[in-house]
Structure 1
Amino acid sequence: MDDLKISKKKPSYPINSQLHKYLQEYNRNIRLPIFYEDLLRFQGAVVVYDKNDEDTLWVRVYYNEFERAEIDLSLKRVYSNLISDGNETIFKYLNIDAIDFCTFGNSKPFRVKVRNILNDNYTYFYVKKADASRVYGLELEHMLSPYNLNFLVYKDTLIEEHIAGIPGDEFIKTMLPECNASEKSQIAKEFVKFNERCMIRLLGDMRSYNYVIVPTHDFDHVVFKIRAIDFDQQSYEGKLKIYRPQFFKENFKMVELVREKIQKESVDQYKIEERSIVARRMISYQDRIGELLDCMQSDTLSSPRYIDMLKEEIYQYTLDKAFRESTNMGEVLKNALDFVKRNYQGISMNNFS
């Protein structure tokens, strides 16, 4: 198992005018009443502990009484815009229970807890500094994965909906050992498909705490799905292995499960299935993906050194000269998706051996 090195501090890339225009066309760009910087004006904070009294790396922030009412109202407006049509009649039923700030990682997000006071149901959304890499990652996830995503962008502020699920590291540590043989086989299959999907669309750094496991109870069993929750490392790193979750030491137990439960022939079959599914999604979203890739090809998303490294590594796998001729990360991704569309039947880049 490789100990892959992720860039300590990925630079934040601004959203250019072409991407803003794209976001506006698809109703992702909307005027918001509050900015990320507004939430940074907190007066103090206390550490948030989990149920086992361990530090979660989040702190609960508080504001002076003169600002808190205005911040709460603005966050209710953001929530209404994110999940509905911005109707203000729901405000009287909402309460902003908590605003948490994460000091870990690149994005340093705020997590806002919104509760319906009529029934005590609650949900979360996130306020982050807008970064082009993250926005491209969210859009690609929306179109190429089985899951739709809600997010909004206004100038340099990004609003993301919460993706519910059990954090991968927690699941692997506490719940995976309790799964039965059938459940473990199903989880292994999902990890193979998740691994392939991340590689195809160049989503990097899927260590176990950057994805969640989503259990769904069917009438006679539990179905497990794997969803990415962190999109900062979209098309940035130069090593192809960083776009393949199987090579992170944090995912060793999942890789071990694949080797134990699934034969090589089945691994190859599941990879082909995932490539077929992604290829069909590309056809369904053909115009929209084309517009997004046009934005990416005119954007700066990585360093020249990383671009040269990645296009050469992918060329060595595919022997497709288009990769060597790529000049930026947008072109590398476009050529990767084109390659999948042309060749997804019977193609498997590698395995878990």
Structure 2
Amino acid sequence: MNIDIADDKLLSRKKPTFAINQPLQAYLKKYNRESKISVSYDDLLRFQGAVTVYDKNDDDTLWVRCYYPDHEREHIDRDLKHIYDILHSDGRDQSLEFLSVDAVDYCTFGNTKPFRIKIRNILNDGHTYFYVKKADSSRVYGLELEHLLSPHRINFLVSNDTLIEEHIAGIPGDEFIEDYLEACDHQERTQIAKEFVKFNERCLIRLLGDMRAYNYVIIPTHDFDRVSYAIRAIDFDQQCYEGRMKVYRPQFFKENVPMVMNVADCLKNESIEQYKKEERALIAKRLINTQSRYKALIKCMRADNISETAKLKQLKRELHNYTGDIKFKTCRTMGSVLNTALEFIRRNYSAE
């Protein structure tokens, strides 16, 4: 794995929001991703005031806690609890009396600017989160592709121009690198290196960009004699938007240099190539196993506009040079580019 890092201008300054068109809306309805909710992203923007949220070290988290007028808070709380019930249960509101909205936080950093909702179960004092965002078709494609092609399932809902995402638990990558990586033993660091190689390959194959350290989480799982780790994306804003291929390879972001150095320290080149092949083969299998749903999604994506002409031309050229597959030259949309990339994997790494 190369240790070269990307420059600070790798990403465009601001990615525009792409509206959800009718074919994608029909897809979401067919696969139960659409729901009617009574509070929208724009409704939550009408907060009356906010205070800064600090972490355990008293550092600014770039989140602010929002407060709403008394005459609006009651119905906002009720509607947010209803959303939680739809997301995690049957939506019949039978458990609403046992739920409490403990916080509505707003992120002031990045393109997405989500709201983070903290829901507490008053019976056992357990809590969880979900996020309310502005609906964006490229983000929705990213979420659905994560569900179909990654080792992880993900739960989300779309209602008109509002997107609801479940919380993905784990240690943020930047926090893990700073506070935990150095303390890991050699076996753990080797396993983390393996997972980073596979994560890096998975992002490239499905064209998920901007996996800087704060856009993924590390998930430790305790076994009886060891701790294993998984790496999982938590931000899907940059699905098939940028033109530079490096954007889709986490190894080229400077924030991930410690992870790349760990790969170089723990793995031989032969092992790195083997793990890349394993991930390609797994994605090929998932493509086959989800063929009907994937075809329906990619049909929407191929007819959609989720990038810019110059970026499309650049990515086509770079992927053609990287793979040698001439089919990239005839792609007319980012959806076609992604389909060509995935079909290349299926043809070359499927056991069938």
Normalising by structure 1, what TM-score?
0.97
The residue type equivalent to 2:345 in the other structure is V
CA distance in structure 2 between the partners assigned to 1:88 and 1:288 by the alignment: 30
Partner of 1:349: none
**Is 1:256 paired with 2:278?**
no
Return the offset for 1:89.
1.4
- Number of residue pairs aligned between Structure 1 and Structure 2: 346
The residue type equivalent to 1:170 in the other structure is E
Q: Secondary structure at the match of 2:278?
A: helix
Query: Which residue, out of 25, 35, 38, partners 2:40?
Result: 35
CA distance in structure 2 between the partners assigned to 1:224 and 1:169 by the alignment: 15
CA distance in structure 2 between the partners assigned to 1:70 and 1:336 by the alignment: 46
**Is 1:298 paired with 2:303?**
yes
Tell me the alpha carbon deviations over residues 149-171 of structure 1, each in whole angstroms, 9 at most, x when there is no partner.
00000100000000000000000
Please tell me whether the aligned partners of residues 272 and 345 of structure 1 are also in contact (alpha carbons under 8 angstroms).
no
The within-5 A match list for 1:86-97 is 86-97=91-102
CA distance in structure 2 between the partners assigned to 1:99 and 1:166 by the alignment: 21
Tell me the alpha carbon deviations over residues 29-79 of structure 1, each in whole angstroms, 9 at most, x when there is no partner.
011121111101100000000000000000000000000000000001100
**Is 1:200 paired with 2:205?**
yes
Tell me the alpha carbon deviations over residues 84-142 of structure 1, each in whole angstroms, 9 at most, x when there is no partner.
11021101100000000001111110000000001100000000000001000000000
Deviates more, 1:29-38 or 1:192-201: 29-38
Return the offset for 1:345.
6.8
**Is 1:59 paired with 2:68?**
no
The residue type equivalent to 1:161 in the other structure is E
**Is 1:136 paired with 2:141?**
yes
Query: Which residue, out of 161, 164, 170, partners 1:159?
Result: 164
**Is 1:114 paired with 2:115?**
no
CA distance in structure 1 between the partners assigned to 2:48 and 2:207 by the alignment: 39
The residue type equivalent to 1:29 in the other structure is E
CA distance in structure 1 between the partners assigned to 2:321 and 2:94 by the alignment: 58
The within-5 A match list for 1:19-34 is 19-34=24-39
**Is 1:233 paired with 2:235?**
no
Please tell me whether the aligned partners of residues 113 and 125 of structure 1 are also in contact (alpha carbons under 8 angstroms).
yes
Please tell me whether the aligned partners of residues 167 and 213 of structure 1 are also in contact (alpha carbons under 8 angstroms).
yes
Partner of 2:247: 242
Q: Secondary structure at the match of 2:180?
A: helix
**Is 1:2 paired with 2:6?**
yes
Partner of 2:273: 268
Partner of 1:285: 290
Gaps of 5+ in 1: 347-353
Q: Secondary structure at the match of 1:147?
A: coil
Return the offset for 1:11.
0.4
The residue type equivalent to 1:94 in the other structure is L
The residue type equivalent to 1:15 in the other structure is I
CA distance in structure 2 between the partners assigned to 1:345 and 1:264 by the alignment: 23
The within-5 A match list for 1:170-209 is 170-209=175-214
Partner of 1:350: none
Partner of 2:313: 308
CA distance in structure 1 between the partners assigned to 2:38 and 2:85 by the alignment: 12
Query: Which residue, out of 308, 323, 326, partners 2:328?
Result: 323
CA distance in structure 2 between the partners assigned to 1:160 and 1:177 by the alignment: 32
Return the offset for 1:7.
1.0
Structure 1 vs Structure 2: percent identity of aligned residues?
Answer: 60
CA distance in structure 2 between the partners assigned to 1:149 and 1:230 by the alignment: 12
Gaps of 5+ in 2: none
Normalising by structure 2, what TM-score?
0.97
The residue type equivalent to 1:3 in the other structure is D
Return the offset for 1:2.
2.3
What is the RMSD of the two structures over their aligned residues, measured on CA atoms? Answer: 0.9
Please tell me whether the aligned partners of residues 281 and 349 of structure 2 are also in contact (alpha carbons under 8 angstroms).
yes
Q: Secondary structure at the match of 1:89?
A: coil
The residue type equivalent to 2:236 in the other structure is F
CA distance in structure 1 between the partners assigned to 2:259 and 2:94 by the alignment: 46
**Is 1:82 paired with 2:99?**
no
The residue type equivalent to 2:178 in the other structure is K
CA distance in structure 2 between the partners assigned to 1:105 and 1:130 by the alignment: 15
Tell me the alpha carbon deviations over residues 232-257 of structure 1, each in whole angstroms, 9 at most, x when there is no partner.
00000000010000011100000001
CA distance in structure 1 between the partners assigned to 2:94 and 2:333 by the alignment: 47
CA distance in structure 1 between the partners assigned to 2:7 and 2:311 by the alignment: 18
**Is 1:215 paired with 2:220?**
yes
